[in-house]
């Protein structure tokens, strides 16, 4: 990939970090990418891979104080439309049999998934928290507008905890993994969705939502997080139905880069040469053909994984 020059991001500062999983400061460089959704500026964030444990993360990254500019209001709208209702039905399929459990949804936004569960299982006791949402759309949910570590839930309180496309956004995922373990009952399930760093989606198609996706996980690193924070990794599913994790973009980026196209040129095709434009058309066509079917899920290489951690030990 050919890149534009790095400049200081206009939204605020960046910080250099050690690996959240193992603490190492040694890493290999993977690639650089600007925020290709908002394009607040042309700063290209480095994606690196820890040499010791294999965790993939953005480094340097936006500081927590500067991160809010990457989440405009439109990021949170339309989460109760028909497409999302289909998504909620698939998410519900990954939960164990439900009766009257206490369930917490981390990063619940407006609480629409919890409201969906309530319609099907009215005896559930539902809790939601979201640092970026000021409230939920129903009064059946006990909601807190805080970080999980600030919510002060009791020890061993929940039967099930979920988090759908949340942990890749966290500045310190290990803090949340430890806190989930504390507030989950022994034998309880933590079910969450994250992106897969070992996929074409992540490695060649550049579909990770940089810099909002600060961490990119894999089965190997998830197993290490489970061991570190008191869980067993009991299931991992490769499933593109909730969010599209196909490698669409792999051929587009490969061919346009071959002709020297930059990220800025891809953003503004008036800056592309005729050769780059032709390469882009061919790349898009190949992407649409090669990735028409979700064959990556069969090879366990889809860009989206759904994970089940089970808490070890016994309740006091």
Give residue-wise pLDDT tens across range 189-202.
999 999 999 999 99
How many other CB atoms are found less than 10 A from the CB of residue 257?
18
Asked whether residue 262 is assigned to any structural domain, the reply reads yes
pTM score:
0.93
Asked whether residue 285 is assigned to any structural domain, the reply reads yes
Say how many Å lie between the first and final Cα of the chain, rounded: 54
Q: Which domain, by its residues, includes 269?
A: 250-290
Asked whether residue 281 is assigned to any structural domain, the reply reads yes
**How high is the pLDDT of residue 79?**
57
pLDDT top residue among 253 and 313 = 253
**How high is the pLDDT of residue 269?**
87
Asked whether residue 53 is assigned to any structural domain, the reply reads no
Distance CA 206, CA 223 (A): 24
Task: Categorize the per-residue pLDDT at 75 as very low, low, confident or very high, splitting at 50, 70 and 90.
Answer: confident
Asked if residue 60 has a cis previous peptide bond (ω within 30° of 0), the answer is: yes
Distance CA 183, CA 157 (A): 5
Tell how strand 141-144 and strand 158-164 pair up.
Answer: unpaired
Asked whether residue 301 is assigned to any structural domain, the reply reads no
pLDDT tens per residue, range 78-128: 555 667 889 999 999 999 999 999 999 999 999 999 999 999 999 999 999
pLDDT top residue among 2 and 274 = 274
Average pLDDT over residues 146-150: 97
Distance CA 135, CA 143 (A): 7
Distance CA 289, CA 248 (A): 10
Asked whether residue 278 is assigned to any structural domain, the reply reads yes
Token pair belonging to 162? 């979920």
Say yes or no to pLDDT of 130 above 50.
yes
**How high is the pLDDT of residue 77?**
65
SS3 content of the chain, % helix, strand, coil (to 5): 30, 25, 45
Distance CA 28, CA 53 (A): 11
Asked whether residue 268 is assigned to any structural domain, the reply reads yes
How many structural domains are present in the chain?
A: 1
CA distances from 19 to 148, 198, 254 (A): 21, 18, 29
Distance CA 108, CA 198 (A): 27
Asked whether residue 49 is assigned to any structural domain, the reply reads no
Q: Which residue has the tokens 């109760």?
A: 80
């Amino acid at each position: 990939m050919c890149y534009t020059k790095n400049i200081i991001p206009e939204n605020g500062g960046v910080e250099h970090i050690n690996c959240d999983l193992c603490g190492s400061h040694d890493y290999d460089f993977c690639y650089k990418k600007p925020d290709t959704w908002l394009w607040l500026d042309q700063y290209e964030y480095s994606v690196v891979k820890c040499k010791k444990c294999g965790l993939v993360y953005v480094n340097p990254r936006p500081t927590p104080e500067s991160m809010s500019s990457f989440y405009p209001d439109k990021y949170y709208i339309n989460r109760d439309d028909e497409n999302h209702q289909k998504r909620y039905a698939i998410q519900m399929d990954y939960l164990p049999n439900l009766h009257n459990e206490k369930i917490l949804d981390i990063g619940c936004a407006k609480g629409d998934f919890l409201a969906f569960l309530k319609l099907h299982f009215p005896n559930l006791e539902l809790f939601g928290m979201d640092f970026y949402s000021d409230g939920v759309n129903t009064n059946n949910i006990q909601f807190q507008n805080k970080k999980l570590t600030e919510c002060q839930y009791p020890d061993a309180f929940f039967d099930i905890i979920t988090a759908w496309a949340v942990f890749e956004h966290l500045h310190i995922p290990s803090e949340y993994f430890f806190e989930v373990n504390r507030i989950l009952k022994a034998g309880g399930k933590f079910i969450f969705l994250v992106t897969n760093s070992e996929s074409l989606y992540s490695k060649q198609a550049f579909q990770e939502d940089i810099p909002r996706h600060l961490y990119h996980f894999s089965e190997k690193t998830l197993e290490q997080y489970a061991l570190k924070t008191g869980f067993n990794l009991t299931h991992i599913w490769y499933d593109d139905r909730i969010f599209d994790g196909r490698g669409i973009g792999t051929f587009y980026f490969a061919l346009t880069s071959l002709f020297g196209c930059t990220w800025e040129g891809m953003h503004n095709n008036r800056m592309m040469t005729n050769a780059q434009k032709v390469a882009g058309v061919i790349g898009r066509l190949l992407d649409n053909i090669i990735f028409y079917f979700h064959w990556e899920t069969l090879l366990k290489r889809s860009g989206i994984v759904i994970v089940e951690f089970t808490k070890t030990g016994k309740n006091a």
